[in-house]
Structure 1
Amino acid sequence: MADIPRRLFLAASGATLFAPAILRAAETPPAEIRDRPEGARRNISSFQRQDWHDHFDSLGAAAIVADTTSRALHFWSGDGSDYRIYPTSVPMTDELTKRGYTQVVRKKVGPDWTPTPSMVERNPELKYMPPGPDNPLGTHAMYLSWPAYLIHGTHDTRKIGRRSSDGCIGLYNFAIEELFAITPVGAQVRII
């Protein structure tokens, strides 16, 4: 009988040690991620919460921080009640990465894509692409005040979590659709 409290203590201790893993497992990812091939899920980098105060004086209409190191995009609504984090693709090299402050100047569902002259210089086979499943901008695009820099979706889910873009910030199509719906034109953006 004296062993029962000890066994209960050991069982409770073991459960306590595994509680964080159990809680993480309970946070089931959306079907779009969960049902992907195992290799695609591994591309998602780990990232930490950001505090908008570290980047902006106020939230304005809304605020976005795209962290190219952790490969995550952080969104805050204008009143601060909505904070979301999305895994992203980031530019392939530091030379392609533009950092600083900008803003969303327009949004488009079903964007078409024209490669920039520097992209064509690196890969002469690149050509204009209308909206559709082969378009590298995915289903939605948010254009920044910097020419040729966008936050957009991608049909190639292998790119998320990797250095794979020519300068833009890419998200899963389901994620850019969600972000697109809650981000107003004029939202401030910081790329770090």
Structure 2
Amino acid sequence: MSKLTTPFLSRRAFLLSASAAGVAGSPAFAQSDPNSGTTEVEADITETVRRNISSFRALDWRPYFSNTKNGAILVDIQSRALHWWSEDQTQYKLYPTSVPITEDLTRTGRTRITRKVEGPSWAPTPAMKRRNPEWPDFIGPGPDNPMGTHAMHLTWKYYRIHGTHDTRKIGRRSSNGCIGLFNEDIADLFERSNVGTQVLLI
């Protein structure tokens, strides 16, 4: 693991502080203090989330989209699930997600995928950097990256659907706006989705 020299925060130190802060993705960070109200539990719930995927409610695309041209993605913030439909409506997938910590960080409405990146890099937003000046300005692709293995940019600046190496964050309110998936799930969704795929967050 390479390290940044002072006055920059070392990558190891960043990861330790980020772990304490609950890194979920870019730009997605949560507080780990169980009394802070920003995450529900700190125990590893990865297996629980995986088992519970079968209990998530399947949805029909028609109440949410007028058509499925270019495919369609619905993110249900309340149930913390992402639904995907193929353009020809023959395929449907359901994935557990992480969602924003608070209402003020939650953006809802219609957008679309504008760019797909395998092996994404990460940089804090200006607001995040002001709050946490000790954080590094940039992290390249790899296991240290809070965005996981794949990222899909949206029309909204700083908002992405991406993976995460910290699987504890899936199924929780743990991001500053982005939607996080298990790395294997974002890889699957990445292959199924196209630039131009419709996205609706509700």
Q: TM-score range by the shorter chain?
A: 0.7 to 0.9
What is the one-letter code of the residue matched to 2:73?
Answer: I
More helix by share: 1
Change (3 A) 1:56 1:119: same
Distance 1:139 1:190 in 2: 23
Cα offset, 1:47, TM superposition: 2.3
- Aligned with residue 175 of structure 2, among 151, 158, 165: 165
Distance 1:93 1:60, change over 3 A: same
Shift of residue 166, structure 1, vs aligned partner: 1.1
Alignment of structure 1 residues 1-192 onto 2, 5 Å: 39-43=45-49, 46-127=55-136, 128-192=138-202
Contact 1:98 1:191 in 2 (8 A): yes
Q: TM-score, normalised by structure 1?
A: 0.77
Unaligned runs of 5+ in 1: 1-36
The corresponding residue for 2:19 is none
**In 2 relative to 1, CA 106–40 (structure 1 residues): closer, same or farther, beyond 3 Å?**
same
Between the two proteins, what is the percent identity of the paired residues?
Answer: 54
Residue deviations 1:33-83 (CA, integer Å, cap 9, x gap): xxxx97322346652111111111000110000111000000000000010
Structure showing greater radius of gyration is 1
Q: Contact 1:76/1:82 (CA < 8 Å) preserved in 2? A: yes
Q: Deviations over 1:141-185 (max 9, x none)?
A: 000011100000000000000000110000000000000001011
**Residues in 2 aligned to 1:149 and 1:163: alpha-carbon distance in whole angstroms:** 16
What RMSD in Å do the two structures reach over aligned CA positions? Answer: 1.5
Match of 1:13 in 2: none
The code of the aligned residue for 1:54 comes to P
The runs of at least 4 aligned residues of structure 1 exceeding 4 Å deviation read 43-46
